[in-house]
Structure 1
């Protein structure tokens, strides 16, 4: 796993620190806004701890960014796009895509879309028995579709639970606490398509 996680730890550390400083927040203020302990944020910013998907969800919610956007920024995709440094649209080989693995659940995210594409598209592999919850604020200002490719995904949207099988899709509405669960004994693979909501 470390060959997937390690390259991004420093980039996530720098991005969390940059987003915090951009807002003029202290560690204590980010801890208060996110519900993540000040000690944990400090370890993340120093690159001493790889945040879990749950922690990233809380931090992204505090920044009013989606988890996908926070990771994309950490990967440097937005910076490269702004500088015109990204490759032209075309073929991207499987091994070239940025990946991030949650050290807690083993959840694996692979970036599909390039930096200039108008939507964030990611492939997720959720291991058997894994559960990843996100706060409602992590979905603010975005529109999102989840498309199950393989396996079964139990998706809780607020108080409503949906059982999604291969081929099923769900388009998400207003922000709500959401939980992605794989209650089976085999991996679930799905795609998340995210676009920034034009509404303020």
Structure 2
């Protein structure tokens, strides 16, 4: 079974603080850019509060990063160039979990399902598990959205990325700006220009979907 959340709080705290400080931003500047209060950002950076999916969406939008980048679990300090779509949420696999060529040989890497960390939104119970590793050129994540859950993201959270949503099980009500799509198993939607979006599950059963994301060029 996946290892859910608590160990991630400290890593999220360090990531948010790193991204803010490398930009030379004060807490007030980040609060103004994200719409998240200074008090909440301070608690997150001290590891005293686990941010919700909505708060992570606002912070990632302010940094012009993906949510996955703020959930990065790789050990050590983030690179000074900042994360891209290749930054992922899962820690690097141990040597025992890699292919025979290792990280510097053929580049093959085996990542076991039972070794993956899973982030859980303390507000809605939304769960996110990163499928791809830090060297893969796209981010693929598996999302489990509980019955009745609703997770909104601001338009800026989708800037500079190309994203596809693929419903695996259950039903997803996807709000793309003013347009609403009812998606069932096997349905996909490729996202266009950034707009405010909502992922909602209006049914009585869990919805499971995959998100495939690549980082696009800045306009």
Give the deviation of 1:68 after TM superposition: 1.8
For residues 35 and 184 of structure 2, the distance between their equivalents in structure 1, rounded to whole angstroms, comes to: 33
2:139 corresponding residue in structure 1: 120
2:119 corresponding residue in structure 1: 100
2:204 corresponding residue in structure 1: 185
For residues 20 and 218 of structure 2, the distance between their equivalents in structure 1, rounded to whole angstroms, comes to: 24
1:76 corresponding residue in structure 2: 74
For residues 97 and 194 of structure 1, the distance between their equivalents in structure 2, rounded to whole angstroms, comes to: 19
1:28 corresponding residue in structure 2: 28
Give the deviation of 1:119 after TM superposition: 0.2
1:44 corresponding residue in structure 2: 44
SS of the residue 2:128 aligns to: strand
C-alpha contact (below 8 Å) 2:156/2:194 kept by paired residues: yes
Select the residue among 144, 166, 172 that pairs with 2:191. 172
- Cα deviations by residue, 1:54-100 (Å, 9 ceiling, x for unpaired): 0000000000011122213xx12795999xx7654232111112310
Cα RMSD for the two superposed structures: 1.8
Residue 161 in 1 paired to residue 159 in 2? Answer: no
Unmatched runs of 5 consecutive residues or more in structure 2: 80-85
Higher helix share: 1
Q: TM-score, normalised by structure 2?
A: 0.84
Number of residue pairs aligned between Structure 1 and Structure 2: 194
2:55 corresponding residue in structure 1: 55
For residues 20 and 198 of structure 1, the distance between their equivalents in structure 2, rounded to whole angstroms, comes to: 22
Residue 64 in 1 paired to residue 64 in 2? Answer: yes
Give the deviation of 1:199 after TM superposition: 4.2
2:149 corresponding residue in structure 1: 130
Q: TM-score, normalised by structure 1?
A: 0.92
SS of the residue 1:137 aligns to: helix
For residues 106 and 61 of structure 1, the distance between their equivalents in structure 2, rounded to whole angstroms, comes to: 21
Structure 1's consecutive aligned runs of 4 or more residues displaced over 3 angstroms after TM superposition are 77-82, 85-88
For residues 62 and 218 of structure 2, the distance between their equivalents in structure 1, rounded to whole angstroms, comes to: 19
Unmatched runs of 5 consecutive residues or more in structure 1: none
